[in-house]
Structure 1
Amino acid sequence: MQFENENIYHIYNQGNNRQQIFFTRDNYMFFLQKIKDYILPFSDILAWCLMPNHFHLMIYVNKAKLDFINQNINRTRTLNQSLAIMLRSYTRAINLQENRTGSLFRERTKALCLTRNTELTPSYFNSEFGTVLNIDMPELNYVQVCFEYIYKNPIKAGLVNAPEDWEFTSYLDFTGIRNWQLINRKRIEEFITC
């Protein structure tokens, strides 16, 4: 994955062999803390949804690379490295909790750039309504469609009947039902039509 400043990315991964990655409410909360610690320093979060066997993040990258001081040594870390550290750390904790070994997530985490059309990013998005071109129509814009897709994920999986019924999504924060302060509402308003 190569992240670039001032672009929006849809980041997602699922359990290896589609296995469960969250076993308790505490696991979901622990993963959210990891997002806060490892992703938030680099980006603004526009949307997130944690499902029993996968996760989705939509982020706006402010800085793809940051300097950190660790034990009086100045080191540079990229968002890509920080994401990898986050997933490894979470995997170690779950392996310990579940008395298991090995990979928890699929080998490759996906990160699709939603704001740039290059040879690496498709100019279309397959949705439940068919193929949507990444065009300048707010209701059909790739960013808008992906934003809504993330929130509809628990419904599509048959876990709930409405997005506000799933606790582990930023939909509750976006709509003002809850205020966990992980998303950046001001940044969302720049890209999403409500």
Structure 2
Amino acid sequence: MSNTENFECGYVYHIYTHANAKDLIFREEENYKYFLEKLIKYIIPIAEIYAYCLLPNHFHLLLRFKNLDDVLSEDGHKYLMKQFSNLLNGYAKAYNKRYNRKGSLFLDYLKRKRVNDEKYLIKLLHYIHNNPVNHGFVEDIGEWKYSSYNSYINLTKESQIERTEMMQYFETVDNFIEYHKSNIEYDFLQIE
């Protein structure tokens, strides 16, 4: 996967990054909440977020960029990257100040892969939501508070997550839950 792949409006992407070296991105609950606030501020205006998962040293997003071509006077990729730069830099500055640390918090690039296949899309949803289980943070997927999984389980509760698009692949919420409990091989993801 190329990390230099340009973002394009209207397409779905799996976006992720890792803490620099052995650092943590999230140390306490307030960190997760603050990151989600920044995510809403900078990313919701440009994208529909289908799924997310925040873990202590990395995060995953599954989103579709809105069709902004008609309102963008500059290069679309540059504009979309600027929003992510604002998110990550704003978070890192606040984090560094809070913990009296210096230097880069995140790796120096945002990993990304465009999603062009429905089967791949659905498997990514499974992968992102099961990340806390796969990394041993929880035994049950619903126990992890910092992912979009529980937003899908309670569809009557208001959410910033765009759930309609992904729920079209599942007949019911129970079907969604069962799918997430199933075992799937992730070697297809090619995640570095």
Residue deviations 1:21-48 (CA, integer Å, cap 9, x gap): 1011011000001110111001111000
In structure 2, distance between residues paired with 1:102 and 1:53: 16
Instruction: Give the C-alpha shift of residue 63 in structure 1.
Output: 3.2
By percentage of residues, which structure has more helix? 2
Identity between Structure 1 and Structure 2 (%): 31
Instruction: Give the C-alpha shift of residue 179 in structure 1.
Output: 3.5
In structure 2, distance between residues paired with 1:188 and 1:81: 27
In structure 1, distance between residues paired with 2:140 and 2:149: 10
Question: What residue in structure 1 maps to residue 143 of structure 2?
Answer: 165
Which one has more relative contact order, counting CA pairs under 8 Å at least 6 apart?
2
Question: What residue in structure 2 maps to residue 127 of structure 1?
Answer: none
User: What TM-score, normalized to structure 1?
Assistant: 0.77
Instruction: Give the C-alpha shift of residue 7 in structure 1.
Output: 1.3
In structure 2, distance between residues paired with 1:180 and 1:17: 37
By percentage of residues, which structure has more strand? 1
| Cα 1:42/1:82, change in 2 over 3 Å | same
Structure 2 unaligned residues grouped into runs of 5+? 171-175, 177-192
Is residue 156 of structure 1 aligned with residue 156 of structure 2? no
User: What TM-score, normalized to structure 2?
Assistant: 0.78
The one-letter amino acid of 1:102's match is: G
Instruction: Give the C-alpha shift of residue 148 in structure 1.
Output: 0.4
Residue from 3, 7, 10 that aligns with 2:7 = 3
Is residue 187 of structure 1 aligned with residue 165 of structure 2? yes
| Cα 1:161/1:36, change in 2 over 3 Å | same
In structure 2, distance between residues paired with 1:12 and 1:83: 11
Is residue 35 of structure 1 aligned with residue 35 of structure 2? no
Instruction: Give the C-alpha shift of residue 64 in structure 1.
Output: 5.2
- Secondary structure at the aligned position of 1:17 is classed as coil
Counterpart contact for 1:44–1:187, Cα < 8 Å: no
Structure 1 unaligned residues grouped into runs of 5+? 69-73, 116-133
In structure 1, distance between residues paired with 2:103 and 2:71: 31
In structure 2, distance between residues paired with 1:75 and 1:179: 37
Q: Once superposed, what is the RMSD of the aligned Cα atoms? A: 2.3
Is residue 146 of structure 1 aligned with residue 124 of structure 2? yes
| Cα 1:65/1:163, change in 2 over 3 Å | farther
Residue deviations 1:31-77 (CA, integer Å, cap 9, x gap): 00111011100111100000000000000111356869xxxxx9987
> What pairs with 1:103-122 in structure 2 (closer than 5 Å)?
103-115=104-116
Residue deviations 1:120-146 (CA, integer Å, cap 9, x gap): xxxxxxxxxxxxxx5xxx6xx110111
The one-letter amino acid of 1:170's match is: S
Instruction: Give the C-alpha shift of residue 92 in structure 1.
Output: 0.2
The one-letter amino acid of 2:115's match is: L
In structure 2, distance between residues paired with 1:43 and 1:146: 17
